[in-house]
Structure 1
Amino acid sequence: MTNLSPIIRVMVSVVVSLIATAGIISFYEPFYPFTMFIGVILICLFTLIAYSASKSFSWNHSILFSRPHMKWVLPFGLIFPALLMASSAPDQSHIETSIMFVIVYFVTYLVYMCLSFIGMSKLIHLDASGKSSKYSFSIYLVIPFVTWMVYFIAFFPATMTPDSLSQWGQAHSYDWSNWHPLVHTWLLTVLVQIWDSPGVLALFQVFMMALVWAYGMKSIEKRGVSFVWLSLFTVLVAAWPVLGIYSISLWKDVLYSIVLFLFCVLTFNIVFTRGVWLTQKSNLLLLFVTSLGVAFFRHNGFPVFLVMGILLLIVFRQHWKPLLANFIAVLAIYLVVTGPIFTALDVRPTEAKEALGIPTQQMANIVINGDLTEDQEAYVSNVMPLPMWEKFYHPYKVDPIKFSGEYDDTFIANDLGAFLKVWSGMVIQNPGLAIEAFLKETSIVWQMHEPEKPGYTSNFLTYIYKDNEYGLENKIFFPTITSNVKEYLEDSEKNFLTTIWRPASYLFAIVFLTFTAWMKFNRRASVWLISLPVLLNVGSVAATLPAQDFRYLFSNVPLALFLIAMIWIGQSKMSDAHE
């Protein structure tokens, strides 16, 4: 097509874009005035992409399709679009005939496949090199900090749910429970000595999020990317509604996500300097503190640290001494704190039911719809009376069962082996129902499009739960600011639920960008380590997910945005340069 005249290329591009737009829109929505408006935008966008590809895209000269790369690119380019479609497919009752159904799916698949190949090819050759600036770190810090302070003012002093209030109570009563990670509660306890208001943690989170983002952008800038482009991108990031409202949301998941993202940035520095970053003591101190945060700020963080610590030791074994010292130190502190110290302080342990969400959901679905042996029926009746399983079962959250008052957590905890034996037997006998329960409960992990009711997404709130026992409440200083920010959040959720307010969208972006970076930087396996902390978190969340809350996967957001900037690094910039 590159040999055709410009006029013919334009005509062909327009025809291709019309077909692509019709297929994409039909896949997601019936045609009505708003989709027609979207269609015009897509036609223009697809025409530009098709015309640009017709001018410059070459199968023969693209690095992407060279023989060493092709054996990886082709499977990914064929599988990724299919997974993307499965994740984003809505109710499609508007597609009335089987023939139209096949045509729409075929066209949509071809569009996504072509976009994947073209996107990878463009990103591999992308190089946003430019000047650095001694003031750039301050720019990367101030832009998000000032923007997110608007949320602080709008919803002063913070937003809080019962989980937040529970930790607030512990921080004042010193009646410790590890239901919420106790080290995170201790941090809150220290902060409220400075200012006895939820605002102190909100301010701390706002500053830490801005600081970590600034550090990440500066790290990319050191690899040669223009500070001007990174500054402009930071403006977009600062305006991202998820980051803004979460910066003042007092959930343990927020601070954990911040340190987990920082761990990804540190891994980026290790990877792009091939371990040389580890030779500086200040960097090792930062790695140590960050590792402690990952291990302590959520219960699933410790396994993430363990896996990452072992893999870093293997991949960067030439720098094994500092990595091993960090690993042993964090492990020792974790064992001492969660062992003797917790015992001395009489810390109440986490209840067993908190780790059994998925098995409980599978049990419930099988009890209601499947086949049980007499022994299995007897056991589940002891856990909860049989009629209650159906009464409290919600396919997208396990909390109604856990907190029903009928669910006997003590019975399970007394013989966890018996529970696992019965559960595994029920799953083997009813694999289809077990898979169905798992996919529904973990919908927020893998599904971009929100499921039909009773599916839901719990994204954010803009207030402190009212009538709480601590007398905490929001204060509105500037009603116009509060109203406008709330409207901005609600509009973003209403119009961009699938793209902005479903964490699976960020997961697909992480996988695509990491794979492209892996190809771009000569298939260095260490590139995958940059995203691995968040991917491990996704896996651990999927194994224990209690409800469809975005906050459990908040770490997907800053990493996906960071990877967009990382892919701007030129191919030649992964070097042995010292920090």
Structure 2
Amino acid sequence: MSKGNALLTWISAAVASFIATGALISFYEPFYSLTFGIGLFLFVLFTLLFYRLARNTNRFKGILQSSYKKWTLPFAVLFPILLMASSAPDQSHIESRLMMVGIYLLTYAVYICLTLTLMEFLYQFDTKGTATPYSFVLYFAIPFLAWMVYFIAFFPATMTPDSLSQWGQAHSFEWSNWHPLVHTWVLTVLVQIWDSPGVLSLFQITVISLIWAYGMKSIEKYGVSYKILGLFTIVVAAWPVLGIYSISLWKDVLYSAVLFLFCILMFKMVFSKGAWLHQKHNLLLLFITSLAVAFFRHNGFPVFLVMGVFLLLVFRKQWKPLLANFVAVLAIYLVVTGPIFSALDVRPTETKEAVGIPTQQIANIVINGDLTEEQEAYVSRIMPLQDWEKYYHPYKVDPIKFSGKFDDTVIAEDMGEFLKMWSGMVANNPVLAVEAFLREASIVWQMHEPKGPGYTSNFVTNIFYNNEYGLENKVISSKATVAAQRYLDKSETYFLTTIWRPASYLLAILFLTYTAFLKYGKRGSVWLISLPVLLSVGSVAATLPAQDFRYLFSNVPLALFLVAMIWIGRGETTRSHE
């Protein structure tokens, strides 16, 4: 390329970069001092990117091979739409409809370009390096020591009323399955060792650190340098979500940890083409993990069932151990939740816990839609019509459920009638039904926190005050407490959309899993790695009661794991490291 052509290419790249930068910033924010600094950074980045693309005659040669085009082009078209819909904020700063159309089209073009560029980069990316037999200790020690800082800062744990409910059961032995009882039993056993919430904090820190170390060691066996994985583990250890959740005594934390372990086991099966299943100790680990997934949260059992079917279909040659695992876990689950629960007089979960989304849709339709006389009479039996509007909150169903006016026995006595009335209301008011669902499930799909009354409940740093058990936090190191609190608060203030909204991790999971699907040629089996979490997300979206991050905590470790997994070179997957 001559100097004149090179200069012309640079100028063209700079012009395109200027337009792209302006459109992208305008999509999210009005221009002010901070956005000018961000704009300068983006302008330089886009100029380099567009110049490289203009000079590269074989751009996207990896991901747009003939066998991949039918998948990659639709993904590159649809993923940016999902990203824009998820991240779009209030855009009142855009002054005209024509300007909005232009900004949307340009932003969409930029995101298509970025999607293809990043996919191609990761497709070609290869981080070969050395391994060491001592790396497991490194991968374990880094997060364990980092998260012990939170243990010291907020000793002995953080607890909400849900946590205290399980704490009470662990001491009274009066069992309820409102919170998964097997998880409560784990707490019951642990408090026999040390009757303090700190025992579960230490247990969670240890378990999550061990699982992370197991995942990194598994990736290292496929040629990724232990030094790079060690540096990445430092980043993971500093991730504020993981730090504060390691000492948060919610069932969601331990469930998310074992669900993440289940994803790692899927990785080992997929990358070994099922050979991992030939070892008896691996089958034992799969069995224990499957039991934990099935028992540690109510939506875990359907996740296990669906995964069991998919595993039998994908790994047909190893059907015997997989079928044995499936049948054994299913049998134990039915025995425990049936005869054993009955013998212990376990109180069942209330019906209202399973109908959160339908309840929100009914409320929105009662307030803004049309009901038949029959539907109106039925809804009035559940709660007086005037109270639906009084207690309705578009982003959480708890005010209705716990209003004292909501009679879920009407639903429990005849679920068929409830489903009939609900489906009829939805059919007559589809727009209002979809609106109610999207608002209630906002935390699942929307990166940008919606304007008030939208909210995100991210974390707590204390034990619920004035609780009946006399539990309270004790300051071990005031410096650690102040520093940890400041770190969490700043991360929430400056990184709410990226770090503290679960949808960000969900989009990362979809993008990285699809890129892995292209990179490793494992056909659809690569999706098995992320499928447990994706199924869990789907089940949460169907029953979500409020905008609490903890319900979708499993998104976080999986997304971070996939970042490291995608560093495996394409050629390394053909080698046997197990």
TM range (shorter): over 0.9
Moved more, 49-58 or 73-82: 49-58
Mapped partners of 2:512, 2:263: distance in 1: 14
The Cα shift of 1:38 comes to 1.7
Secondary structure class of the residue paired with 2:68: helix
Q: Shift of the alpha carbon at 1:370?
A: 0.6
Q: Is the 8 A contact 1:276 1:577 kept in 2?
A: no
- Paired with 2:2 and 2:525, the residues of 1 have a C-alpha distance of 37
Tell me, in whole angstroms, the C-alpha distance in 2 between the residues paired with 1:358 and 1:375.
Answer: 21
1:303 partnered with 2:295: no
CA contact (8 A) 2:202 2:247 kept: yes
1:523 Cα deviation after fit: 5.1
Q: State the match for 1:44 in structure 2.
A: 44
Supply the distance in 2 between the matched residues of 1:136 and 1:65 (Cα, whole angstroms): 37
SS at match of 2:111: helix
TM-score, with length taken from structure 2: 0.98
Is 1:462 matched with 2:450? no
Q: 1:470 to 1:106 in 2, by over 3 A?
A: same
Which amino acid letter does the alignment assign opposite residue 132 of structure 1? A
User: How many equivalent pairs are there?
Assistant: 578
Cα pair distance change 1:510/1:400, threshold 3 Å: same
Cα displacement (A) at 1:6: 4.6
Give the letter for the 2:17 counterpart.
S
What is the identity, as a one-letter code, of the residue corresponding to 2:88? Answer: A
Match of 1:33 in 2: 33
Aligned twin of 2:538: 539
- What SS is found at the alignment partner of 1:537? helix
Of 329-338 and 5-14, more deviation after overlay is shown by 5-14
- 2:542 maps to amino acid: A
* Residues 151 and 532 of structure 1: CA distance in aligned 2, closer, same or farther (over 3 Å): same
Give yes or no for contact 2:63–2:518 (8 Å, CA) kept in 1: yes
Post-superposition Cα deviations, 1:320-356, rounded to whole Å, max 9, x if no partner, equal 1111111111111100000000000000000000000
For residues 6 and 202 of structure 1, what CA distance do their matches in structure 2 show? 59
Letter in 2 for 1:162: P
* SS of corresponding position for 1:118: helix
* Paired residues of 1:2 and 1:56 also in contact (CA < 8 A): no
SS of residue in 1 equivalent to 2:348:
coil
Return closer, same or farther for 1:156/1:277 CA change in 2, 3 Å cut-off.
same
Aligned partner of 2:92 in structure 1 is 93
Q: CA deviation at 1:68?
A: 1.2
| Structure 2 unaligned residues grouped into runs of 5+ | none
1:364 partner letter:
A
Deviation, 1:310, is 1.0
Shift of 1:136: 0.8
What is the CA-CA distance between 1:150 and the residue it aligns to?
Answer: 0.6
Deviations 1:300-328 (A, max 9, x none): 00000001011111110101111111111
**Counterparts of residues 476-515 of structure 1 (less than 5 Å):** 476-515=475-514
Instruction: Tell me the percent identity.
Output: 69
- 1:126 aligns with 125
Q: Deviations over 1:180-234 (max 9, x none)?
A: 0000000000000011010100111111111101100000000111111111111
Task: Confirm or deny: 8 A CA contact 1:364 1:390 kept in the other structure.
Answer: yes
1:353 correspondence with 2:349: no
Question: 2:143 is matched with which residue?
Answer: 144
- The alignment's TM-score, normalised by the length of structure 1, stands at 0.98
Q: Could you tell me which residue of structure 1 aligns to residue 242 of structure 2?
A: 243
Q: Is the 8 A contact 2:211 2:257 kept in 1?
A: yes
- Mapped to 1, the partners of 2:54 and 2:227 lie a distance apart of 30
Instruction: Give me the whole-angstrom Cα distance separating, in 2, the residues matched to 1:279 and 1:397.
Output: 47
Q: Distance in 1 between matches of 2:2 and 2:356?
A: 55
Q: Is the 8 A contact 2:222 2:577 kept in 1?
A: no
8 A Cα contact 1:274 1:575, kept in partner: no
Measured in 1, the distance between the counterparts of 2:14 and 2:535 equals 43
Aligned partner of 1:336 in structure 2 is: 335
* Deviation, structure 1 residue 99: 1.8
Q: Deviations over 1:461-514 (max 9, x none)?
A: 111110000001111111111111111111111111111110001000000110
Between 3-12 and 332-341, the greater mean CA deviation after superposition: 3-12
**What's 2:177 paired with?**
178
Report the 3-state secondary structure (helix = DSSP H, G, I; strand = E; otherwise coil) of the residue aligned with 1:65: coil
Structure 1: gaps spanning 5 or more residues: none
**SS of equivalent to 2:297:** coil
Provide the alpha-carbon RMSD of the alignment. Answer: 1.4
Distance 2:84 2:159 in 1: 35
CA contact (8 A) 2:270 2:522 kept: no
Question: Contact between 1:180 and 1:252, CA under 8 Å: does it hold in 2?
Answer: yes
